[in-house]
Structure 1
Amino acid sequence: MDEFWVFGYGSLMWNPGFPYDERQQARISGYRRSLCVRSYVHRGTSARPGLVLGLDRGGSCRGVAFRVPEQARHDTITYLRERELVTSVYLEREVGVRLADGRLVRALTYVVDRAHPQYGGAITVEEAAEVVAGAVGQSGPNPVYVANTVSHLREMGIRDHWLESVVNSLKTIGRDR
């Protein structure tokens, strides 16, 4: 059988929640990491949505690819669907992924559905920071999610200047309140 890979670009990178035999930094083309999903569950509520990451079209995205043991394929897919498809804002896709060692593999990932009402589209750093600042969901405060993402990206040697600017704006908002 073919190897089963999963590509993570947000919290999945440091908190996959499934077993894996191999973990490598990886890149996909045609999609970029974007704080473009209005979160009604994990990092906000319907009354006070937060913002979480999605893969939006255009550019490329560095993240992490996980090779999942064949015997864990079914349970991993079930787990990921429960985790990522809570409100159906993501579309499950298989994409080409270039691993850090140069191999090209196919991986399961979740891409934002631009037609979904939770799609936030392109917003400014300031708008993103304002939305994130006071949002809290079942998985905790939205600012913690964004800051953790930036921290983990930096640990991996990945810079996301836009996301880093959101974190810096959050610090300013915190001082002003």
Structure 2
Amino acid sequence: MAMWVFGYGSLIWKVGFNYDDRVVGFIKGYRRVFYQGSTDHRGTPENPGRTVTLEPADGEICWGAAYKISKEEDKENAINHLEVREKQYDQKAYVDFFTDPTATTPAVSGVMLQIVQAEGPSGPNRDYLFQLEKALLEFGCKDEHVINIANEVRRIVSELEQLSTQSKS
């Protein structure tokens, strides 16, 4: 029996494990928010970054990608990878995954999700934000929360660059 894993953050563009199929779609009853403090990947304990997590929200949907994993060895490797990668999360949930906004029945049931100026070992926090925004837009998903934060970060970066240029002249 295949295992399915839902990616709603960096798993969209940086999977890190073998899978048989990738399907773009969404889950219901959750929204993506930049509420998770990252002290291990996109920040440090002194300067935590921000990554996305999911929070229950009636009537909301969250777009992402579901990964089908069939081989037992690949399932074990994926779970081990996710346990390390998502170590700040200790909760798993199994949800329905949809690919058609008008569908009343899910495309896949029982998809697992890991209720999953900073820079950490995985790189700058703003790169995480911009890569997530780009990946979602490639799906045709305009997540206003992500877009608004990305635009604000771009504005701040632009201001800092202008100040740096002025101080050098």
TM-score range, shorter chain: 0.7 to 0.9
In 1, Cα distance between equivalents of 2:25 and 2:31: 13
Identity of aligned residues (%): 32
Given the two structures, how large is their TM-score scaled by the length of structure 2? 0.84
TM-aligned CA deviation for residue 105 of structure 1? 2.0
Relative to 1, partners in 2 of residues 1:153 and 1:167: Cα closer, same or farther, differing over 3 Å?
same
The DSSP-based 3-state class of the residue aligned with 1:151 is helix
Counterpart residue number, 1:79: 81
TM-aligned CA deviation for residue 98 of structure 1? 1.9
Counterpart residue number, 2:165: none
**Counterpart amino acid of residue 110 in structure 1:** Q
Q: Which runs of 5+ in 1 are unaligned?
A: 113-133
Q: Which runs of 5+ in 2 are unaligned?
A: 161-169
Higher Rg: 2
Q: Is the contact made by 1:55 and 1:110 (CA closer than 8 Å) also made in structure 2?
A: no
Question: How many aligned residue pairs are there?
Answer: 153
TM-aligned CA deviation for residue 90 of structure 1? 4.5
TM-aligned CA deviation for residue 104 of structure 1? 3.0
Residue correspondence of structure 1 range 5-84 to structure 2 within 5 A: 5-58=4-57, 59-71=60-72, 72-84=74-86
Q: What is the aligned-residue RMSD (CA, Å)?
A: 1.6
Residue correspondence of structure 1 range 1-177 to structure 2 within 5 A: 2-58=1-57, 59-71=60-72, 72-85=74-87, 87=88, 89-100=89-100, 103-111=107-115, 134-177=117-160
**Counterpart amino acid of residue 156 in structure 1:** F
Counterpart residue number, 1:126: none
Given the two structures, how large is their TM-score scaled by the length of structure 1? 0.80
Relative to 1, partners in 2 of residues 1:153 and 1:108: Cα closer, same or farther, differing over 3 Å?
same
Once the two structures are superposed, residues 33-89 of structure 1 have per-residue CA deviations (whole angstroms, 9 ceiling, x without a partner) of 11110111111111111100101111221110111123211121111111111x3x3
Relative to 1, partners in 2 of residues 1:166 and 1:90: Cα closer, same or farther, differing over 3 Å?
farther
